[in-house]
């Protein structure tokens, strides 16, 4: 049976993060909004560094990074619970000390050059597989790499790359054997910015500031290959599935705070002599939202629990991702409606959450892709509607 009982240490960890978010991050929301109106995104670098320093001083460094690499080595359930707390503010913050999961496939020399400096915060990476014509269909990538002696020459374009403007190296996926395609013909390369690739930020309706990356005759040594030649697609799928449950976990935290705001507004807003909390229309909005939040909580925690148990959690993660995106958007819309005109202004964080949560239905797998995955797994017998306990 699923046991999600937290021990004293785990409760203490969650409590510390909750306090950190309330005291350190939420007060910065107005500043972040002002910066956004000036065309700047997120926290100032010095503020982010200071916050991460505060967290590290309390032992919060590398949430899921193995302890032998200096991290906390927490499991998926705890990582999800921490993400829920971070989701209670739109201020984009992550604890330092983490690295992409596929970077651990680096050989010893690459670990010294890329993995360890990334964990320590000295270097920044980005993951580049999406292209203008290859989004959800990752097998359709056209960026190519041809071998010339001991070097590879990379040509192509990537788009919507998170962290692409700040990264000093990229994990880029390119076709190295057209005949084999994704099955043995795609390779991942570690490429420093100094090698010549360029990036340009893409403006979006929310905080997320992805980039377009261009590779034109970018030369790298054969030793730049991450993992094995031709095995890049397997690495890409592992990266994409590394923690899809964390996205709806963050949305869960946002929804909790939003509904709390809606209840406060319902008690305080008086119309025709009564608080709107007495109106059935408002009560039903709040009731539906509470049920959906609880359902999302269990979808997220069940997926995370399966990860911790070493089970195949892809179906559970797709369900959490799909449900979380849909319901978060419905909930923030209700909360805005309950606040009326004030909800539409930038005086409250609702408008900001409205824009941010919309991304969840697209980012790291659209709703349509999640439905496709869920249905195929069921129809092919890879998953059951009875779940893991069936």
Average pLDDT, the chain: 92
Rounded to an integer, the average pLDDT of 230-234 is 91
pLDDT one-digit tens code per residue, 244-254: 899 999 999 99
Residue 149 pLDDT: 93
Predicted TM-score (pTM) of the model is: 0.90
pLDDT one-digit tens code per residue, 100-121: 989 999 999 999 999 999 999 9
Active site residue 364: yes
319 pLDDT exceeds 80?
yes
Residue 365 pLDDT: 87
List for the chain the helix, strand, coil content (%; round to 5): 50, 15, 35
* Active-site residue (options: 109, 330, 364, 368): 364
Name which residue leads in pLDDT, 145 or 42.
145
147 pLDDT exceeds 60?
yes
* CA–CA–CA angle 386, 387, 390 (5° rounding): 55
User: The tokens 């039903």 sit on which residue?
Assistant: 284
Residue 135 pLDDT: 59
Q: Are strands 151-161 and 144-148 parallel, antiparallel or unpaired?
A: antiparallel
CA nearest 234: which of 173, 303, 176? 173
- Domains annotated on the chain, with CATH: 8-100 (1.10.540.10), 104-110+123-239 (2.40.110.10), 242-379 (1.20.140.10)
Rounded to an integer, the average pLDDT of 299-320 is 93
Question: H or E stretch including 191?
Answer: strand 186-192
Rounded to an integer, the average pLDDT of 352-381 is 93
137 pLDDT exceeds 80?
no
Q: How far is CA 314 from CA 126, 297, 310, 318, 382, in A?
A: 23, 17, 11, 6, 10
Instruction: Report the distance separating Cα 294 and Cα 82, nearest Å.
Output: 17
């Amino acid at each position: 049976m699923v046991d999600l009982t937290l021990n004293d240490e785990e409760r203490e960890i969650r409590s510390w993060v909750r306090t950190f978010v309330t005291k350190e991050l939420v007060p910065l929301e107005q500043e972040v909004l002002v910066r956004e109106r000036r065309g700047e995104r997120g926290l100032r670098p010095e503020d982010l560094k200071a916050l991460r320093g505060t967290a590290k001083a309390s032992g919060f460094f590398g949430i899921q990074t193995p302890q032998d690499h200096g991290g906390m080595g927490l499991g998926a359930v705890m990582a999800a619970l921490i993400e829920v707390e971070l989701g209670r503010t739109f201020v984009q913050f992550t604890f330092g000390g983490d690295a992409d999961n596929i970077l651990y496939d680096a050989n010893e020399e690459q670990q010294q050059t890329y993995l360890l400096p990334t964990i320590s915060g000295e270097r920044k990476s980005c993951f580049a597989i999406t292209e203008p014509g290859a989004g959800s269909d990752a097998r359709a990538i056209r960026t190519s790499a041809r071998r010339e002696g001991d070097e590879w020459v990379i040509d192509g374009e990537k788009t919507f790359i998170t962290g692409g403007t700040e990264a000093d190296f990229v994990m880029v996926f390119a076709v190295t054997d057209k005949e084999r395609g994704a099955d043995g013909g795609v390779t991942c390369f570690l490429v420093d910015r100094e090698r010549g690739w360029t990036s340009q930020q893409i403006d979006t309706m929310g905080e997320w500031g992805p980039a377009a990356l261009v590779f034109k005759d970018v030369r790298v040594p054969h030793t730049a290959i991450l993992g094995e030649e031709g095995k890049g697609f397997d690495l890409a799928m592992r990266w994409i599935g590394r923690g899809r449950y964390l996205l709806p976990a963050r949305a869960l935290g946002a929804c909790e705070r939003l509904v709390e705001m809606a209840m406060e507004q319902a008690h305080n807003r008086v119309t025709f002599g009564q608080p709107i909390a007495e109106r059935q229309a408002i009560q039903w909005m709040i009731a539906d939202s509470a049920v959906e939040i609880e359902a999302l909580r269990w979808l997220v925690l069940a997926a995370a629990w399966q990860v911790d148990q070493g089970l195949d959690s892809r179906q559970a993660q797709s369900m959490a991702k799909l449900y979380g995106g849909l319901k978060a958007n419905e909930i923030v819309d209700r909360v805005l409606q309950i606040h009326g005109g004030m909800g539409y202004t930038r005086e409250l964080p609702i408008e900001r959450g409205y824009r941010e949560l919309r991304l969840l239905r697209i980012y790291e797998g659209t709703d349509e892709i999640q439905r496709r995955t869920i249905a195929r797994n069921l129809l092919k017998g890879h998953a059951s509607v009875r779940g893991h306990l069936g």
